[in-house]
Chains A and B, each alone.
Chain A
Amino acid sequence: MQVHKYDVVIVGAGGAGMRAAIESGQRARTAVLTKLYPTRSHTGAAQGGMCAALANVEEDNWEWHTFDTVKGGDYLVDQDAAEVMAKEAIEAVLDLEKMGLPFNRTPEGRIDQRRFGGHTRDHGKAPVRRSCYAADRTGHMILQTLYQNCVKHNVEFYNEYYVLDLLMVDQEVTVDGVTRIEKRVAGVVSYDLASGELHIFQAKSVVFASGGVGKVYKTTSNAHTLTGDGMGIAFRRGIPLEDMEFFQFHPTGLAGLGILLSEAARGEGAILRNSEGERFMERYAPTIKDLAPRDIVARSMANEVREGRGAGPNKDYVLLDLTHLEPAHIDAKLPDITEFARTYLGVEPYTEPVPVFPTAHYAMGGIPTNIKAEVLADNDTVVPGLYAAGEVACVSVHGSNRLGTNSLLDINVFGKRAGLAAAEYALTADFVDIPENPTAETEELLNRARSSEGGERVALIRKELQDIMDANVQVFRTEETLLEALRVIDSLEERYSRITVQDKGKRFNLDLLEAVELGFLLDMAKVMTAAALHRRESRGGHFREDFPERDDENFMTHSMAYKDPSATLTSGVRLETKPVIFTRYQPMERKY
């Protein structure tokens, strides 16, 4: 077993991880560990853009952007974090341009901007052009640009190193005569996929930037590799997870496949129609219609289908209509997504509407952090040396529903903050000794998966998990569906203890990798469902049919899910709450 020593270790090489690495790598000895290759990360699948109030094409300012973010998140957003993000958005876009990102340009040669859902002028008066973009492959260009700059700065990557554990020790700390136990970071344990060997990375700072958990669902825009590993590792090590009941369903996934068609399509003028040819969003959001936030559009679509106005032979999807747009305009602004429709459904978007249905897209919740990207062990105790940024984290800028483009923004703003803070901490802190038997838990985890001969198949358990999550924990939820989901997840977990991994080798054992990933998916599905059960109200991406109203009296509060075996009624997940931070906006009714 090899031991490596770095000031800063970054887990994940998507947008947040590489943005952090660019800062940290220039200040402290930094390693980036990824279970993929950096350019394979799912940041590259983001399409529509990154919002910043540059005001290049019309009047705009960061305060309006902050308001939209807060309202979009149904007031569960921590407003200090939203202000930071909207303010620093402008510099974040300019940073990327200076790094070389090929944004689309205005006739004057400045960065062009377009409309996006929920982004408005003057507190909701009309849609505003705020999204900076590079055709419909903005995420691809961000990922490439960040990787290019990592190459430029000689960032050290460990590709196909799968991090499986976070090493922490309890230390006694005495401040002002009061002694308490504090968690301190010592490093991470990772599994080298090529060789099957474990490697320990001792580090003063660890940054989690490992992305989301979309693969708990069957219909999803997420990559196969998005299995909630970072969230799962933190949760197993006693770090709470915040707001996990809030999961975003993107309105326009290709029907039956879940492949994403960017909201940029609607930003460029496409609209949704039901089987009767009706532009139904006029009924649900009279002011901004098809450009309402995603939770509202997704729910409206699901409702159309439920009330029998779905299109297609099974009446189970609606239609995205681009046929009134000029083909040249479509080619210039939306080339990739129209090709997806042609390739995967054989539909020609110039002349035919495209079948679409909501697809599981984004976890608003995650590892709780403050605005310095420092991880919290409870409502306010920082874990020194531990940071998180991007989808794995919950800072919380997205509250109960993220606005489109704010994820590319989040990874850039808080990725940079995490990289700076991690490097700064590492320059003053000492290494924490690696605990005894640092790989004991990881070896047990791997050996259990490798040696079990119970005959249960990983793929089958995963499919059943995804089926129950799609059926019971999707756009509409009730106590009944959630309790049933928990029961099913518990039984799947029991079967998971009896899986058989067929590949017994060490070299690129991706069969084993999938088994480990399924363990994280099961844990995260449980946390998401338990948190959804706990929140007896409807807000943003979480809609309880048995509690259809927002309930500020009882639930204007973040949820914090802790691993706790004594919480037997909710499958070992204990729910607590954390106050929302308000600065300038008081909750109002959320209408568009």
Chain B
Amino acid sequence: MEKEPASKVELAPGVGGGGEIPTFDITLKVRRYNPEVSDEAHWDEWQLTMYGTDRVLDALHKVKWEHDGSVSFRRSCAHGVCGSDAMRINGRNRLACKTLLKDLDTSKPILVEPIKGLPVEKDLIVDMEPFFQSYREIMPFLVSKGHEPSKERLQSAEERDRYDDTTKCILCAACTSSCPVFWTDGQYFGPAAIVNAHRFIFDSRDDAGDMRLEILNDKEGVWRCRTTFNCSEACPRGIQVTKAISEVKQAILTRRI
């Protein structure tokens, strides 16, 4: 039983943040493309005054809501859990809603482009279908043989921990679209599909690990990975993507899960 916390404590002065939220000016440059208008992509830029707590998504919204309603991008939850707004920000794949403007170099223009390797539909919107196709191919669901138990299957905390990291994936495609192999070979499954295979391969309740390993032993599978670590750096959920891919490679070699 945990200790009951004190009914009253002395708070240090200034505790709990606060103070004035500073404002600052930025230049936002957005890669524009709309095949209804032109086959050529181009850059548009805006000068904006933003707050210290604002994120790149807030800057994009400011543009869309106050300057140019045709600027198009996907977003939903706006706090890094739905995976809608992966984009290239100053050349790195990030979620726009998790990237604080104050953490970027605001003395230079902030460059926002669509993620690479997937067909651009309009502005920052790409066709996600090839990405989800790879995901579907690795059997991203629990396969369990034998009779269903009447209650829950047992799984120890250690067994549960074994695949914890890869359950965090939000399918934003930041990893896959940061991978140089994927840029040149769109057939490559890509990091996200392998991460989701890992999530099941190392789940003690699953019985289809061998089938997934066979799928990933394909010429477009894990062996295309050249361990450049772009994917791990890109993951907004902090998943150790390269490590997960290595574990899958190792499992194929040893056929031991």
Chain A interface (Cβ within 8 Å of chain B)? 36-37, 39-42, 44-45, 93-94, 97-100, 102-111, 134-135, 137, 140-141, 144, 148-149, 151-152, 194, 223-225, 256-257, 259-260, 269, 271, 273, 275-279, 282, 311-314, 317, 319, 321, 324-325, 336, 340, 343-347, 352-355, 457-460, 501-503, 505-511
Contacts and interface: CB of A to CB of B under 8 A. Distances in A.
A515 to B, nearest CB: 9
A464 to B, nearest CB: 13
A26 B136 CA distance: 18
A110 B19 contact: no
B31 interface: no
B53 A501 contact: no
Interface string B64-108: 111011101111111111111000000000000010100000000
23 contacts: A40-B74, A40-B76, A40-B77, A42-B82, A100-B200, A105-B160, A140-B168, A141-B167, A149-B141, A223-B78, A260-B79, A273-B11, A275-B11, A277-B8, A312-B17, A317-B16, A340-B79, A344-B100, A352-B16, A355-B18, A457-B66, A502-B68, A507-B36
A281 to B, nearest CB: 10
B140 A151 contact: yes
Interface of B: 2-3, 5-11, 15-20, 34-37, 53, 64-66, 68-70, 72-84, 98, 100, 121-123, 125, 128, 132, 136, 140-142, 144, 148, 151-157, 159-160, 163-164, 167-171, 200, 203, 205-206
Contacts of B3: 324
Nearest to B142: A100
A290 to B, nearest CB: 9
A111 B149 CA distance: 14
Contacts of B2: 269, 325
Given A224-B75, A354-B16, A355-B17, A102 B163 contact: yes
Nearest to A90: B151
A298 B8 CA distance: 20
A506 B6 CA distance: 60
B148 A353 contact: no
A450 to B, nearest CB: 12
Contact of B122 (A93, A321, A507): A507
A148 B168 CA distance: 14
A345 B53 contact: yes
A40 B66 contact: no
Contacts of A273: 9, 11
B16 A148 contact: no
A371 B16 CA distance: 45
B16 A353 contact: yes
Given A98-B153, A104-B160, A224-B77, 8 more contacts: A36-B76, A105-B160, A140-B170, A224-B75, A340-B80, A355-B16, A460-B65, A501-B69
A259 B79 contact: yes
Contacts of B68: 502
B53 A257 contact: yes
Contacts of A347: 16-17
Contacts of B78: 223-224, 259
Contacts of A345: 17, 53
B156 A105 contact: yes
A470 B144 CA distance: 49
Nearest to A322: B5
A344 B18 contact: no
B128 A37 contact: yes
Contact of A344 (B53, B84, B151): B53
Contacts of B154: 108-110
A204 B20 CA distance: 57
A256 B157 CA distance: 37
Among B65, B73, B77, B206, chain A packs the most CB atoms within 10 A around the CB of: B77
B81 A324 contact: no
Contacts of B84: 36-37, 40
Given A94-B151, A352-B15, A505 B82 contact: no
A93 B153 CA distance: 12
Among A140, A141, A510, chain B packs the most CB atoms within 10 A around the CB of: A510
A41 B83 CA distance: 10
A511 B64 contact: yes
Contacts of A505: 34, 36-37, 70
A502 B69 contact: yes
A39 B170 contact: yes
A40 B83 contact: yes
Given A40-B82, A107-B157, A507-B34, A282 B122 contact: no
Among B53, B142, B159, chain A packs the most CB atoms within 10 A around the CB of: B142
A137 B168 contact: yes
A354 B11 CA distance: 12
Given A109-B154, A273-B9, A511 B70 contact: yes
Contacts of A108: 154
A413 to B, nearest CB: 17
B21 to A, nearest CB: 8
A44 B53 CA distance: 24
